[in-house]
Each structure stands twice: as C-alpha cells, then as structure tokens.
C-alpha cells in the first residue's frame, strides 16, 4: 500500500501535470488534433517498476496504465499511469494534491497552473477565441 508521502515524492520526481492547449495561432486546416483543451496527470516509470503504477491506480481508484515503447538509443520501455478524465482529475487527483502539498517549487507551480487551467475548462473558456488564447498563454508558463 502506498502512503501520501511516498506518492508526493514519486510525483515530485517523475510526475507531470499538463494541459494540452491547441495553439490558437495555427490555421484550422493545420490542426492535427480535434481536442482544444485536454488536462492530464501522468507518471512514467521504467518497465521493471510498473507495479508501482498499478498501485497508484488502485490508490486513486481511477486512471489507466499504458505500455510505452521507446525505440530511442539508450532508453528503456516504460509504463505510464495517466488520468485524463476531467471528472476524476477534479474529484480525486486535484483534491489529493491540494491536501498533500508537493515539495518541489517547480512542481507546485505546475500544479497551481494546472488547477487554474482545469477551472477555466470547467467554465468553458476554451470555447472562445479569447479564452483559448489566454489559456494558451498561461500554459506556456508551465515547466
């Protein structure tokens, strides 16, 4: 069983809070993804440590674990624990990290920005050109 302090250390070292925001300056025909704003929390570990990711999945009661093949020289295959559901992010992941503070300043900052962007998505900011531009600018300040 994982405890909150172990999870905090793991996420400080290997975790990521990110939000894909479509670049509003790209032409519509130039867009490769349909999604305009997509928040994700994920953690990647080498294949031999994948059991920890399944423990995280059980701890949070959400998310998925994926195999991630890496063909780059001197890199190993990885597994990735990822939570992309807005509902699960809002109800499980964000409350956990609000209650249990991350230690690294850069990770704390990314989490704060992540929460801001998730809230903006909840409010529908990504549906207007102005909101999307603002969100894109905020996203650029993440580590």
**Model pLDDT for residues 23-76, shown as the tens digit of each residue:** 877 655 555 556 689 999 999 999 999 999 999 999 999 999 999 877 777 778
Domains of the chain: 4-139 (3.10.28.10)
pTM for this entry: 0.89
Burial class (CB in 10 A: 0-12, 13-18, 19+), 110: buried
Task: Work out the mean pLDDT of the chain and round it to a whole number.
Answer: 91
Task: State the Cα–Cα distance between residues 132 and 127, nearest whole angstrom.
Answer: 7
**How many CB atoms sit inside 10 A of residue 125's CB?**
18
Contact status, residue 79 vs residue 47, Cβ threshold 8 Å: yes
8-state DSSP, 34: S
């Amino acid at each position: 069983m994982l405890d909150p302090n172990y999870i905090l250390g793991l996420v400080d070292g290997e975790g990521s809070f990110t939000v894909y925001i479509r670049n509003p300056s790209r032409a519509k025909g130039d867009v490769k993804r349909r999604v305009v704003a997509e928040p994700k929390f994920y953690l990647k570990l080498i294949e031999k440590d994948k059991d920890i990711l399944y423990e995280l999945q059980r701890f949070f009661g959400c998310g998925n674990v994926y195999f991630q093949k890496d063909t780059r020289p001197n890199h190993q295959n990885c597994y990735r624990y990822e939570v992309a559901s807005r509902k699960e992010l809002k109800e499980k992941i964000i409350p956990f990290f609000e209650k249990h503070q991350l230690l690294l300043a850069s990770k704390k900052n990314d989490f704060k920005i992540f929460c801001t962007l998730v809230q903006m998505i909840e409010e529908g900011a990504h549906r207007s050109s102005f909101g999307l531009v603002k969100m894109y600018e905020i996203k650029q300040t993440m580590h």
